[in-house]
Amino acid sequence: MHGVVHFWYAGSHKRIGCDMTGVQQALLMAGQSWIDPTWAQATAPAARRWRVASFGNVVGTGDVFIGGGVNSVTGNAVAMYSLDYGQTWTASPTVFSTSGNGFGLFKVAFGNGVFVAGIGLEIFVSSDGVNWSSAGFVADGHIEFGNGVFILAKQNANVCRRSTTGGAWGTIPLPSSDTWNGVGFGNTGSNGTWVIFSNTGCVISTDGGLNWSSGGALPFPTNVNSAAYGNGVWVASANQNDTVVYRSSTNGASWASHFVTSPTTVWQRVRFINGTFYMMSNGGARNVKSTDGITWTPCNSTVNTPSFSMDYDVCALPTGVRYVAVGNGGSNTTVTNYGIG
């Protein structure tokens, strides 16, 4: 995932594809369209601080949404899964150790048939979306998937990690040492473009994450939560300077800030879907969209809950589109939401 979203037909084991042109063609052939989601509440299997959501199609399980979070009392990681597109959820039988310290924000991705998650400094992999196994200690940082490759940011370092399986990770040097956070992938050129953000700027790779060069500086120093690419521009959301987003029309070589909305909120996950950027706030009641990353307007509907919306993912259905969001909830009261557009 991301900067692109991975889409599947319900009940099918055939991947539609990473590029949005292919997705648009497939949806057009199926008579589908993308619209703003209408949200309804679904109950999680336990009151937990759910932090990440991801969708994939895996052998033996089929279409599955997963959610990851943390038990606020013990600090253990917890996971859940849904086989009916977010309507009902079941707790994963995997028991994570206390050393995991919970699923990290934006530290889960699906690709090449597996889910990969960062829990503390440890990497866990699931081939069915239900059971998880440790792939060893790699490093903290955000994880994304694109064009056959997982990229993991490594904080306070001059390297990142790269993998095609989620189980074995190579160490790739970066141009400088920094606190690396958000990771984004965009379909540009034959190999696509990878961007990894620090709190001041970014580094860029156009050869599948093998070699990296310095990118542009951010207008304000802040941690980037996520980034997406579409319509020839990058959009990055941040957890500070929270009335703005960062935008690049130069493939990461330079960045400008753009006003989003008021009152202030922290923008969490941004995705590019069928020609439009969609961005969700941490309050669950503010969701905006844009086609150019400059002008942002509220979506027609919002997540109908005061939960702390952290992450969401999307899949294609034969009769529409399913959006699933998970939230922190506050005071250890958590709800999960789903929507059909």
Burial class of residue 119, CB neighbours in 10 A (0-12, 13-18, 19+): buried
Provide the 10 A C-beta neighbour count for residue 288: 21
If you count them, how many residues does the chain have? 341
Nearest to 18 by CA among 156, 145, 179, 178: 145
- pLDDT value at residue 17: 29
- pLDDT value at residue 6: 30
| CA–CA dist 58, 115 (Å, integer) | 9
- pLDDT value at residue 10: 32
Nearest to 1 by CA among 206, 143, 119: 143
- Which DSSP category does 36 fall into? P
Which three-class secondary structure state does DSSP give residue 100? Answer: helix
The amino acid occupying position 131 is N
Q: Please, which residues have CB within 8 angstroms of residue 155's CB and are 6 or more apart in sequence? A: 139, 140, 141, 179, 180, 181
The amino acid occupying position 38 is T
| DSSP letters for 66-97 | EEEEE-TTT--EEEEEESSTTSS-EE-S----
pLDDT in tens, 15-37: 332 333 333 334 334 444 566 66
| Single pTM value for the model | 0.86
For 28, phi then psi, to 5°, come to -65, -40
Greatest Cα pair distance in the chain? 49
Torsion angle in degrees (nearest 10) through CA of 161, 165, 168, 169: -10
Burial class of residue 177, CB neighbours in 10 A (0-12, 13-18, 19+): exposed
In the structure encoding, which two tokens stand for residue 260, read together? 């989003």
Q: Which helix (H) or strand (E) holds 62?
A: strand 62-70
Burial class of residue 259, CB neighbours in 10 A (0-12, 13-18, 19+): exposed
Torsion angle in degrees (nearest 10) through CA of 135, 132, 324, 291: 10
pLDDT in tens, 258-284: 988 766 677 888 989 888 898 887 765
Q: In what order do the strands lie in the sheet with 49-58?
A: 49-58, 62-70, 77-82, 90-91
Provide the 10 A C-beta neighbour count for residue 243: 14
- pLDDT value at residue 308: 54
| Cis status of the peptide bond prior to 263, with omega within 30 of 0 | yes
- pLDDT value at residue 307: 53
Distances (CA, A) of 151 to 147, 180, 237: 11, 12, 18
> Residues of the chain whose pLDDT is less than 70?
1-38, 98-100, 240-242, 262-264, 283-285, 300-309, 318-319, 328-341
| CA–CA dist 161, 153 (Å, integer) | 7
